[in-house]
């Protein structure tokens, strides 16, 4: 693993999309379907976005696409590496239309845009970026052709792609993310091959494996992983916890509600 920094983005921005009133109809693959309260979800989403604003991030809001129940989970439709914006091709057919119009917004954010094409499928939730290493989950949503196209786009830009099998959860980032110093954190029952991740910190709560680097020593985690949050605080991180319970009901986590444009761990 190398932590050589990528070309810096000048400031921190997130791309988000307001949740659809049909969020309850979103895909669920590894958990039983449960009801979702759309009003509560909207309030949780607003608090999530506010956590970034409070940490100094600018917010780019994509147009609403209420016909897409999973449209709020924008992490899955793009991947950003330096100045490259990769438009994904979701493995879930119900999510394919979510990419419509995305290229324009990525270009407006100053990115060079490329696309994943059929037969490739790839979802951003399967990509974990630590310095110039991109851990790439091969999952039910991201296939070999998608990963080959990813390599073609990022390796000439200096990245190393490390393929990781993912069968126990939806995406790689459902199992493993990383804290800002580049150390991976994972929930052991879901990490199929821990040897892939040097120095992996095991965490005792599933949602504790989902960390967003907010910058300047701050990290965003979901409420509901207090033991893990206390551990991160001991490592001197300032932990910001947000309740995203309504999104967890449709297998979302704290990473998947935004695309981060920054130079940090992602
Ligand atoms: C899906 O199954 O596609 C959505 N219900 C949840 C997507 C969550 N994405 C993520 O964690 N990156």
pLDDT in tens, 39-71: 999 999 999 999 999 999 999 999 999 999 999
121 vs 91: CA distance, rounded Å = 5
- The residue nearest atom 2 of ligand 1, judged by CA position, is 27
CB 93: neighbour CB atoms within 10 A? 9
- The residue nearest atom 5 of ligand 1, judged by CA position, is 27
List residues near ligand 1 (CB under 6 A): 26-27, 29, 70, 73, 75-76, 92, 95, 125, 170-171, 173-174, 250-253, 255-256
* Catalytic-residue membership of 256: yes
Q: Which of 68, 105, 153, 171 is catalytic?
A: 171
* Catalytic-residue membership of 175: no
Asked if residue 62 lies in contact with residue 68, where contact means CB atoms within 8 angstroms, the answer is no
> Which has more confidence, 208 or 4?
208
Give the HSE-up count for residue 10: Cα atoms under 13 Å, Cβ half-sphere: 3
239 vs 225: CA distance, rounded Å = 11
Cα angle 77, 201, 189 (rounded to 5 degrees) comes to: 70
* 183-217 pLDDT per residue, tens: 999 999 999 999 999 999 999 999 999 999 999 99
DSSP-based three-state secondary structure for 262 = coil
Asked if residue 86 lies in contact with residue 126, where contact means CB atoms within 8 angstroms, the answer is no
- The residue nearest atom 1 of ligand 1, judged by CA position, is 27
* 166-178 pLDDT per residue, tens: 999 999 999 999 9
Confidence of residue 9 (pLDDT cuts 50, 70, 90): low
């Amino acid at each position: 693993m190398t932590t050589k920094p990528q070309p810096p983005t000048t400031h921190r921005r997130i791309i988000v999309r307001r949740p659809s009133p049909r969020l309850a109809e979103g895909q669920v693959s590894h958990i039983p379907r449960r009801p979702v309260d759309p009003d509560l979800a909207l309030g949780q989403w607003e608090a999530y976005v506010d956590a970034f604003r409070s940490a100094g991030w600018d917010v780019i809001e994509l147009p609403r696409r209420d016909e897409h129940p999973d449209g709020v989970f924008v992490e899955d439709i793009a991947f950003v590496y330096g100045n490259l914006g990769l438009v994904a091709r979701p493995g879930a057919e119900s999510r394919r239309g979510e990419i419509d119009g995305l290229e324009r917004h990525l270009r407006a954010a100053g990115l060079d845009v490329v696309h994943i094409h059929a037969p490739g499928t790839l979802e951003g939730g399967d990509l974990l970026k630590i310095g110039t290493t991109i851990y790439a989950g091969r999952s039910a949503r991201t296939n070999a052709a998608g990963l080959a196209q990813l390599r073609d786009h990022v390796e000439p830009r200096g990245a190393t792609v490390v393929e990781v099998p993912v069968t126990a959860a939806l995406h790689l980032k459902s199992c493993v993310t990383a804290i800002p110093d580049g150390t991976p954190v994972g929930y052991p029952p879901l990490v199929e091959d821990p040897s892939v991740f040097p120095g992996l910190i095991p965490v005792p709560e599933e949602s504790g494996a989902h960390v967003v680097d907010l910058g300047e020593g701050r990290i965003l985690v979901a409420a509901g992983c207090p033991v893990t949050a206390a551990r991160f605080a001991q490592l001197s991180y300032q932990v910001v916890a947000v309740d995203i319970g309504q999104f967890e009901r449709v297998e979302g986590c704290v990473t998947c509600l935004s695309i981060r444009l920054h130079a940090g761990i992602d």
